[in-house]
Chain A
Amino acid sequence: MKRKLLIPEGTKDYLQEEAFIQRSIVNKLLNLFTLWGYNEIKTPMLEKWDIVKKNNVYDQKFFSLLDKSGDLLILRPEITAPVARVVATHFRDHVTYPLRLAYAGEVFSQNSLKSGNRRQKTQVGTELIGADSIISDCEVILMALESLESNEIKGYSLGIGHMDITIGLLNELIEDADIREIVLESMINKDIVTIENILPENIKEKVMILAARNGGMEYIELVKNFSNDVKFKKAINRLEVIYKILEDIGYKDRVFFDFGILADFSYYTGLLFEGYGNGIGIPILRGGRYDNLIEEYFKSKPAVGFAIDVDLYMKSMNCKIDLPKSEGKIDNSNYIERFREARFAHQNGSIVEINLEDNKSEK
Chain B
Amino acid sequence: MKNNKLVIALPKGRLGEEALELLKETGLPIDGVEVESRILQFEVNDVRYLICKPTDVPIFVEHGIADIGIVGKDTIEEEKRDVFELLDLGFGKCHFSVAVPKVLAYKFGSPFPLYQFNHKRVATKFINVAEEFFAGEGLQMELIKLHGNVELAATIGLADMIVDIVSTGTTLRENGLVEVKEIFQASARLIANRVSYRVKNEQLFKLTEDIKKIINKRGN
Contacts and interface: CB of A to CB of B under 8 A. Distances in A.
Q: Would you list the 6 A-B pairs with minimal beta carbon distance, nearest first?
A: A281-B64, A190-B84, A191-B85, A214-B201, A115-B62, A276-B195
B189 A193 contact: yes
A256 B205 CA distance: 15
B47 to A, nearest CB: 17
Interface extent on A, as a size class?
A: 20 to 34
B63 A116 contact: yes
Contacts of A80: none
Contacts of A155: 4, 199
16 contacts: A114-B81, A155-B4, A191-B84, A192-B84, A212-B208, A213-B201, A213-B205, A256-B198, A256-B201, A278-B1, A279-B2, A279-B64, A280-B64, A282-B82, A282-B194, A283-B195
Interface in A298-354: none
B26 to A, nearest CB: 17
Contacts of B202: 215
Contacts of A109: none
Given A155-B199, A280-B64, A281-B63, 20 more contacts: A114-B80, A115-B62, A115-B82, A159-B198, A190-B194, A191-B85, A193-B85, A196-B88, A212-B205, A213-B201, A213-B205, A256-B201, A261-B198, A276-B195, A276-B199, A279-B64, A281-B193, A281-B194, A281-B196, A282-B195
Interface extent on B, as a size class?
A: 20 to 34
B178 interface: no
Interface in A250-283: 256, 258, 260-261, 274, 276, 278-283
Given A114-B80, A157-B199, A159-B198, A282 B64 contact: yes
A276 B84 contact: no
B86 interface: yes
Interface string B59-90: 00111110000000000000011111111100
B193 A193 contact: no
B195 A281 contact: yes
A260 B193 CA distance: 14
B64 A193 contact: no
Contact of B86 (A159, A197, A212): A212
A259 B63 CA distance: 23
Contacts of B201: 213-215, 256, 258
Contacts of B81: 114-115
A127 B64 CA distance: 30
A193 B195 contact: no
Interface in B68-115: 80-88
B9 to A, nearest CB: 12
Interface of A: 112, 114-116, 155, 157, 159, 189-194, 196-197, 212-215, 256, 258, 260-261, 274, 276, 278-283
Contacts of A191: 84-85
Contacts of A279: 1-2, 64
Contact of B85 (A157, A192, A276): A192
A1 B202 CA distance: 57
A297 B24 CA distance: 58
A190 B192 CA distance: 9
Nearest to B79: A114
Interface in B203-220: 205, 208
Contact of B63 (A115, A213, A214): A115
Interface string B157-181: 0000000000000000000000000
Contacts of B195: 276, 280-283
Contacts of A112: 80
A281 B85 contact: no
A258 B198 contact: yes
A191 B192 CA distance: 10
Interface centre among B65, B84, B193 (most CB of A within 10 A): B84
Contacts of B83: 190
Contacts of A256: 198, 201
A114 B81 CA distance: 7
A193 B199 contact: no
Given A278-B1, A281-B64, A192 B86 contact: yes
A116 B62 CA distance: 9
A306 B203 CA distance: 29
Contacts of B65: 281
Given A114-B80, A114-B81, A281-B64, A193 B198 contact: no
A281 B1 contact: yes
B85 A190 contact: yes
Nearest to B59: A114
B6 to A, nearest CB: 13
Contacts of A281: 1, 61-65, 193-196
